[in-house]
Amino acid sequence: MDFKWLEDFLSLCETHSFSRSAEQRGVTQSAFSRRIRALEDWLGAELLNRDSFPVTLTPEGKLFRETAEEAVRMIQARRAEFRHQKDSGPVIALVALHSLTVTFLPTWLTQLRDALGPIASRVKPENYDRCIEALTEGGYDFFLTFHHDAVPTPLDPRLYPHLAVGQDTLVAVAKPNRPALWATEGEAMPLLQYSRGSFLGTLAAIAQAQPGAPRVYVAHTNEASMAEAMKSMAVEGHGIVWLPRRMVAPELADGRLAVVGPELPMEIRLYRNAARGRGLTNRVWQAAEAVVQSYSKTE
């Protein structure tokens, strides 16, 4: 299949006219018609009602329009990305947990650029399972994540070595002075719960099992398990939630949230796909090691 056939088809979806679309696409009407027919032959489906005027889409054509629009959008976006990378110089590709992209990552990238000079970055924020998938499928150089020894990381250390590049804690927080909300279940506090299977949800369950953790009942489950959304719910007083301390530092400082339970220490780890051993990846890894060593010397 020729990519331009998709663009031809989408033009026809807009104009409903072979002659106008042929003019838009810079070809003769007969050539344009042959390309549309070639697309239909390739798909094995009639996409157009040619007996009507203006031209209309068949049910199959309506379904395929969505596919064609998404395919063209994705291909054009990737093409633009590749061209940008070529123009902007070296690029590191990194996948990271959503929460780390808004807390730890910006400062860490600044430290790398201080050490290496100008480098571009391509960052994909994702949940834990998708991050693992993106790293192991080979599309990304690095994976930035939280780690706790109670949750083994499913990565072969020979193929995916790691550095401990930082520290954080998972802390239970809630809006101060909301006893009326919590009185409905006696002494228990309403819990803002992560969706089943989420990585932070697993860590939160470990934290909640610690001695001194508050008694809770589930008041809200966020099925997307976005830590930022959970923080907003806590700030509004809907209950307690376990969140990375770095994420809630401003709210703790100004009193919008308060700590209501013991904290769970976590490492911030940088995993590397060792199969992607290009020069820039090696230099980033060495710079990350140097940053960690500099921290150790100042502590």
Tell me the C-alpha distance between 14 and 112, whole Å: 47
Spell out the per-residue pLDDT of the chain, length 299, in tens. Answer: 788 999 999 999 999 999 999 998 888 999 999 999 999 999 999 999 988 888 899 999 999 999 999 888 888 877 766 666 555 556 788 999 999 999 999 999 998 888 888 888 889 898 899 899 989 887 788 999 999 999 989 999 999 999 999 999 999 999 987 655 555 545 788 899 998 888 999 999 999 999 989 888 888 888 766 888 899 999 998 889 999 999 999 999 999 999 998 999 999 999 998 887 667 888 888 888 888 877 655 54
Tell me the C-alpha distance between 288 and 24, whole Å: 51
The alpha carbon of residue 123 and the mean position of all alpha carbons in its chain are separated, in whole angstroms, by: 8
Task: Give me the half-sphere count of Cα atoms (radius 13 Å) on the Cβ side of residue 167.
Answer: 7
Which residues neighbour 224 within 8 Å (Cβ) at sequence distance 6 or greater?
195
Q: What is the pLDDT of residue 182?
A: 55
Q: What is the pLDDT of residue 85?
A: 56
Q: What is the pLDDT of residue 195?
A: 86
Give the domains, in start order, of the chain with CATH numbers: 3-86 (1.10.10.10), 87-165+267-298 (3.40.190.10), 168-266 (3.40.190.10)
Give CA torsion, residues 188, 191, 197, 202, to 10 deg.
-70
Q: What is the pLDDT of residue 167?
A: 94
Question: What are the DSSP calls for the chain, one per residue?
Answer: --HHHHHHHHHHHHH--HHHHHHHHTS-HHHHHHHHHHHHHHHTS--EETTSSS-EE-HHHHHHHHHHHHHHHHHHHHHHHHHHHHHH--EEEEEEEHHHHHTTHHHHHHHHHHHH-S-EEEEEEE-HHHHHHHHHTTS-SEEEEEE-TTS---S-TTTS-EEEEEEEEEEEEE-SS-HHHHGGGTT-EEEEEEPTT-HHHHHHHHHHTSTTPPPEEEEEEETT--HHHHHHHHHTTS-BEEEEHHHHHHHHHTTSSEE-S--EEEEEEEEE-TT---HHHHHHHHHHHHHHHHHHHH-
- Which token pair is 137? 């499928």
Give CA torsion, residues 277, 152, 171, 248, to 10 deg.
20
Q: What is the pLDDT of residue 280?
A: 80
Q: What is the pLDDT of residue 181?
A: 54
Could you tell me if residue 138 is left (phi over 0), alpha (psi between -120 and 50 degrees) or otherwise beta?
left
